[in-house]
A and B are shown apart, each in its own frame.
Chain A
Amino acid sequence: MKGIKKISCSVIAVCTLFIGCEKYLDVKPDQSLSTPNSVADLQALLDYEDRLTYNYPCAGDLAATYYYLNDADWRTRDEEARKTYLWEKSADNYLDWSYGYQNIFLANVVIENVSKATLGSLTENHRNQVNGAGHFFRGWSFFHLAQIFAPPYNLKGSNVNEMGIPLRLTADIDAPTVRASLEETYQQVLHDLKIATFYLDANSSTPTRPNKKTAYAAISKTYLVMGDYKQALLYADSCLGLYSTLINYNTLDVNKALPFELFNPEVLFQSSIRADAGNLDPSRARVDSVLYDSYDNDDLRKSIFFRKNTDGSYSFKGSYYGVNSGALFSGIAVDEVLLIKAECLARLDRKEDALEGLNTLLKSRWKTDRFEPYSASTAGEVLGIILAERHKELAFRGGIFWSDRRRLNQEAQFSTNLRRRMEGGDYTIEPNSLLYTFLIPVSVIQESGISQNPR
């Protein structure tokens, strides 16, 4: 009997080892790990700046003509950057695609989880902000991708049969990749951004997080690209109604190497383009001399935006991001929204209102008392002035040049050939050329089987 006792004791001892082992195994192996099931977790994903703040597409800016490279500097760049610079049809800007869809994946994780996420010590308002931001980033990323990989939105005519970009609306990695129509693409952008305006508060704690103003501005930008000037105006006004502060450039130190600080007062939303191609690094990118000469000497932008190089050329130093690099600001600032408003007013034949908006902006850009407000006799004339000023104000702003060219080339009076000269050869891209739409990365075509953009 003694033996039985002994055995039973030890059996019990062993068995207690396993009692409660389910809970025992629920401990996280790495304390920094989590499944995204709380609102705070989702917010942390949206604060992943390397994706959602940095690394927006750069292909359009590599191909832009507000800057040029000299032969020697061009040769130091890698092959894709060299090709994109010269509008070669085989340029494969796969990183723009990759980063863009990484953002969309993150946004989808947030959107899919936000309604069931636990709040913890947070409030329903926090949930709304996260929900709104998730939709904002998805719409914002689709918008940027569409400017590079989808053909220009037809201002006149249907977009239903044009190819857009794949609209991934789920985080499921097994979901198929299918190209939506161009119309669907833009409707999705608007849909996401409008949901964002519904959830987002008017203000956010930091410019890397979107708010109602930024969502309004993004919608306004989208309508502008679609040529719906009425709607663009409406949303620009909504944005400016909440905030319209401009920096008076007279208060800035002209001689400073970096005149603008990060998060300057005009910045509504901070983001920047991919800088790894290096073309746009201020040590290489020289300012187009026609652009430089277009600024009046009393226009402070001439000295605040640009620095003279030792060889007599100019480089750009006026980044709203406040850095000395090729990571151009691609966020949203008040000046752009004001210019959209002015353009729409001009297009809607509201000449005086348009001029007022433009002059408000330029007054803050010129030396005090040197600025003579623009006047013009026709709305068409005003539109021409506004578009010229738009180019001057928003050169070296990520994404805008390329998107503007695609839109404006559809209007005969604003269309233009882009030209470059490199190693003795001349390169031209004609208005509405197929080359305004970049190739979908070859590996994506191979993996997913979607159709390539025509060449």
Chain B
Amino acid sequence: MKYLLIIILSVCWLQGFSRQPFATIRGRVLDSENGRPVVAASVTLNEKQAATKTDENGLFSLRVKNGVPLVLSISSLDYKPIKRSFAQVVKDTIVFHLEKDEVTLEEVVVSTGYEELPLERATGSFEKVDNKLFDRQISTDVISRLDGLVSGVQFDKRSGSETDFNIRGLSSIGASTVRKPLVVVDNFPYEGDIGNLNPNDIAGITFLKDAAAASIWGAKAGNGVLVITTKKGQFEAPVSLTANANTTVTDKPNLFYAPRMSTSEYIDLEIFLFNQGYFNAALNNNTTRPVVTPVVELLEAVRKGELSEQETYQSIDNLRQQDVRRDITNHLYRQGINQQYNVRLNGGTARVNYLFSVGYDHNKASLVGNWNDRFTFRNTTSLKPLPNLDVQIGAVYTHSRLNVPNEGLAALDPASNKGLYPYARFTDDEGNPLAVEKNYRKGYIDTAGNGRLLDWSFRPLEEIQLAERRDVTQDLLFNVNASYQLLPGFKAQLLYQYEGVNTSGYNYNSEETFFTRNLINRFTQIQDDGITHAIPLGGILDESTGSLNSHSLRGMFNLDRQWGQHHQLIALLGGEIRDNKQNFSQYRTYGYKPDILTHQTVDYVNRYPIYDNLSASSYILDNTVFSGNVDRFVSVFANASYIYKGRYTFSGSARRDASNLFGVSTNNKWKPLWSSGFAWNLSEENFFRWDALPYLKLRLTYGYSGNVNNAIAALTTINYRGISRLSRLPYAIVINPPNPSLRWENVAMTNAGLDFRSKNNLFTGSLEFYVKNATDLLALVPADMTTGFNNLTRNSAKLQTKGFDLNITSRNLSGNFSWETNWLFSLNKNKVMEYLYKNTRLSSMVGSGANITPIEGQSAYNIISYRWGGLDAQTGNPKGYINGELSEDYLNITNNASMDDFVFHGSALPQVYGSIRNSFGWRQLSLSFNIQYKLDYYFRRPSVNYNILFSSGKVMHADYALRWQQPGDELITNVPSLVYPANTRRDDFYNLSEATVEKGDHIRLKDVNLSYNFKNTNLKSLPIKNIVATIYANNLGILWRANKKGLDPDFRDMPLPRTIAFGLKMDF
């Protein structure tokens, strides 16, 4: 009710403005060249008697006295100002055409998702990627195009994803889903898969980097906000048609990037382990018949006297030449090809405008057999059915398909915890598919059942052909936005958006697939009187359906009034409600035959013996899954800026959010957040007259934003997990212990900025300093196991992040040959200010910087290592320190090492980063390339872990060859000697020691764009205005790196393959 009162009061106050004998003068300001509306042009009446600004359609209205002559002055940043006189009020809308002022830049309008405002007027930290810059990159998706374009934004590709990024470092240390910035499309957070957006429909992207910019998004804005605006039609614009097409070719991934031990070394190790009796248990196992590799089989045959030693060693030696990575590269991978087509039609009259866009993408993935495509259709229509009413209707339909028959490397493992042996072959010399070891010993499956079972061997190449795994997604986004001008400068807006997404999954494993043959065989019993199949012959079909239904509704009042000569107030006040429902269900059909559409029932209730007692009798898997999620949000918000004399801007913003957080009492569901800001246009001051610097603005903001973490609750929370294994009862687990002291995470941010433009735009840019203080951060804290938990998520730390972002564009040359450079430079350092739990075991800090290391005064994402004491000259054992003394007692080091026995390297996240983009133009040719740098950080490189090598048979890092083998080696290597049996603590010590940390600093050539623009003058015979042909190359590689090992610190296993794209864009 409090809000209602505020609304009513403000409404009453506004009533004061509407009195006779006034009339309203209406006008529209358009760009003389393209007829597009000029947004936020300032309109002044009778030399500052009254003033206003144009709205997003170039419209303005002013209240004037009846029967008095008028002079209207109109100015906007990029245009030549005009002045026109009228004898008295004109009833019709007056149209003004502004001519471009060649010298000035196009005004940047940023969008917060609630309003659009010119950057000039902003107090907060906004950064915009405009359409031209966005389209410089070529990609299927939206997000990956932004890498290296915005200061303070860092893409983190360590997980292999191209779309993970953070804005000004991390503010939260919770799960990765909580650390993501909020993505807003037009007016509302985007709930669907951001991959469904067609980049050709994007007009521009605004990053909201500080509290004043982002706090309007309240409790979801703690990690920064990204506002994507889509293309719209324009009123009174001629019909225009744009078509573009591009093709991107992706190299095969380089499997040889990560150096591994050679096949020969691997075989020698297998021989060694065999002689140690490592495989005895598996070889003598006549019950579960665990898989062993071909070399072990051969060695066993020799031991049993079934094969001659000489012949066997000959055939083993032949295997030494084999490298399965060649087979994988040749048979599982290919060159990927992405094709993209898009056509856009737009135009508008005075009362209606429209935009239609149709796009089709087809991506042939690098994995043979995998592809996906996407069809997008978009329409936005704006109407003015009444003079004061604007209605905008938008609809987007996306239909995408994903086919993934080829599961890649993961499917090749011989057993769940075993790696594929390096001498596996996929084809024989004639090219016929070969079987590789899987699940059971070859000797066993060859004879099991005496031919009465289905073939039990696994041929990777055939599997790719047989599997059918596909997903279809249909995504419908519909929105209506109505805005009604109640009084001049006072609007009421109602926005509604619906998003509906349906996904269906189809995963059919025919009887020919290994998956199905294996299951049928396991559930087969062969008796004297015949064969029984508990799982019927025929395929196994898993189908799933998922849906997302999201409704958002926002009501808002906007005020934009100017009174007197010096006062302007822009405010908005409103509320919003969002409801987001997700459902998923999945079921399985056995014995499915797609050609005759039959299936068979199975018995889920009783246990069936497994063939030959390979394991205990089991239930047939009933793969039924149901899940459902509902997220609800209610928010009220207000935002106002007051501008005095056009040069002092004060802004304030407040918001309260509530959501249906679970296990939280209602009081804690609401989270109030606020921000305030101040901007000073210094260059408007009389005392500041400096021709070299025609534009200078200072900004200062402070405010709060938050992070919603739905995964954590204050009350004991349990989660139902399906049906238990033995008694087949629904069961639940405790996912959250009671935590009555739980509080919301809070991020307070101070931002100070300086925007400048030098004479003739030689230099434009901004410099910003910020301090973020995140308090009550939730982090996983090691717990006393006696509580029933090994770790607990608690409000545990205060984290301070300081940094600055510098963004400069320099126009080095202009004229026929132009040269422009964009410099982005960011510094971001963080420090743990307070940690509320004692560090009882220092060795728990050691790691690779993925989790917070809770040491006050240290960087939160420090890489910390055991101090390295070299290798023992006699044994090749790694040496560490305990209380300053050299030690090989790894258990003691793990339990009792003191602070001095560790090394603090530095941050795992780059603390200095940015990019330099040079653009050259010569006549119609343009060339630009982007060089990125990431400095001042460390990473932990993979090395040898003998325990994993022995137990999983995974092919280890090539450091294996560098291992200590004889006294003297300790002088040239840090790789410990091989010891058998393995000592996990020794392996862990080495892999987490100083010896495996490298400096991450590097400089990379990100991409190059070469374009040629065939202007209409050359194409007079064609109905084409413009053709732009582009070649774009991406992921070009590293120019310089600090580490001497040739490693790319951004990628662990495989760098992103290089891509080359060819694009053509035509305007009709």
Contacts and interface: CB of A to CB of B under 8 A. Distances in A.
A101 B731 contact: no
Interface in B775-795: 782-790, 792
Interface stretch (B346-354, B623-631, B961-969, B1037-1045): B623-631
Contact of B632 (A24, A70, A173, A207): A24
B726 A29 contact: no
A227 to B, nearest CB: 28
Contact of B660 (A29, A105, A207, A444): A29
Contact of B840 (A98, A281, A447): A447
Interface stretch (B216-224, B428-436, B611-619): B611-619
B981 A76 contact: yes
B450 interface: no
Contact of A105 (B607, B727, B787): B787
A94 interface: yes
B395 interface: no
Which of A74, A109, A257 has the most chain B CB within a 10 Å cutoff?
A257
Contacts of A258: 613, 616-617
The dominant DSSP class at the B interface is: mixed
B1036 interface: no
Given A14-B7, A32-B720, A171-B738, A25 B783 contact: no
Contacts of B716: 35-36, 109, 113, 171
A370 to B, nearest CB: 28
Interface string A1-35: 00110111011011101100110111111111111
Contact of B281 (A73, A90, A207): A73
Among B3, B786, B980, residue most surrounded by chain A Cβ atoms (within 10 Å): B786
A317 B285 CA distance: 13
B292 to A, nearest CB: 12
A348 to B, nearest CB: 37
A443 B284 CA distance: 38
A20 to B, nearest CB: 10
Given A10-B492, A14-B7, A33-B717, A3 B789 contact: no
The residue in A3, A8, A53 that gathers the most chain B C-beta atoms within 10 A of its C-beta is A3
A168 interface: yes
Size range of the chain B interface in the assembly: 35 or more
Given A33-B718, A270-B726, A283-B281, A101 B734 contact: no
A183 interface: no
A106 B734 contact: yes
Interface string A61-101: 00000000011111111110010000000100010011001
A261 interface: yes
B627 A322 contact: no
B724 A48 contact: yes
A398 to B, nearest CB: 16
A442 interface: yes
B815 interface: no
A311 B303 CA distance: 13
A256 B616 CA distance: 12
Contacts of B282: 283
A102 interface: yes
Contacts of A8: 11
A38 B714 CA distance: 18
B451 interface: no
Contacts of A166: 786
B789 A105 contact: yes
Category for how many chain A residues contact B: 35 or more
A447 B636 CA distance: 44
A369 to B, nearest CB: 29
B136 to A, nearest CB: 40
Given A7-B486, A29-B660, A283-B285, A70 B277 contact: yes
Interface stretch (A39-47, A122-130, A349-357, A425-433): A39-47
B719 interface: yes
Contact of A262 (B616, B710, B789): B616
A413 interface: no
Contact of B738 (A25, A41, A172, A270): A172
Contacts of A175: 787
Interface string A441-454: 11110111000000
Interface in B596-640: 607, 612-613, 615-617, 627-632, 634, 636
Given A25-B669, A47-B727, A173 B281 contact: no
A216 to B, nearest CB: 21
B660 A27 contact: yes
A251 interface: no
A222 to B, nearest CB: 21
B727 A206 contact: yes
A208 B727 contact: yes
A411 interface: no
A447 B782 contact: yes
A322 to B, nearest CB: 5
A78 B947 contact: yes
Nearest to B792: A173
B281 A284 contact: yes
B103 interface: no
B133 interface: no
Contacts of B612: 257
A310 interface: yes
A245 interface: no
Nearest to A322: B616
B710 A29 contact: yes
Interface string B280-295: 1110111110100000
B715 interface: yes
Most B CB contacts (10 A, CB to CB) among A25, A207, A208 go to A25
B580 to A, nearest CB: 10
Contacts of B786: 97, 101, 166, 168, 177, 444, 448
A173 B737 contact: yes
Interface in A309-324: 309-311, 317, 321-324
Nearest to B287: A324
A282 interface: yes
B190 to A, nearest CB: 19
B271 to A, nearest CB: 15
B715 A173 contact: no
A73 B607 contact: no
A47 B590 CA distance: 28
Contacts of B555: 10, 13-14, 17
Contacts of B790: 98
A236 interface: no
A212 interface: no
Interface in B729-753: 729-735, 737-739
A213 interface: no
B914 interface: no
A190 interface: no
B4 interface: yes
24 contacts: A6-B484, A10-B557, A14-B574, A18-B634, A27-B632, A35-B717, A48-B732, A72-B277, A72-B280, A73-B277, A76-B950, A82-B981, A97-B786, A106-B788, A168-B787, A206-B729, A208-B729, A270-B726, A282-B287, A283-B282, A283-B290, A309-B284, A324-B288, A446-B895
Given A49-B731, A257-B613, 6 more contacts: A10-B555, A30-B662, A34-B732, A44-B731, A44-B732, A256-B613
Interface of A: 3-4, 6-8, 10-11, 13-15, 17-18, 21-22, 24-36, 41, 44-45, 47-50, 53, 70-79, 82, 90, 94, 97-98, 101-102, 104-106, 108-109, 113, 166, 168, 171-173, 175, 177, 205-209, 256-258, 261-263, 270, 281-284, 309-311, 317, 321-325, 441-444, 446-448
Q: Which 4 A-B pairs have the closest CB atoms?
A: A72-B277, A105-B788, A257-B613, A75-B981
Interface of B: 3-4, 7-8, 11, 14-15, 18, 276-278, 280-282, 284-288, 290, 484, 486-487, 492, 494, 553, 555-557, 574-577, 607, 612-613, 615-617, 627-632, 634, 636, 658-663, 666, 669, 710, 715-721, 724-727, 729-735, 737-739, 782-790, 792, 840-841, 891, 895, 947, 950-951, 980-981, 983-985
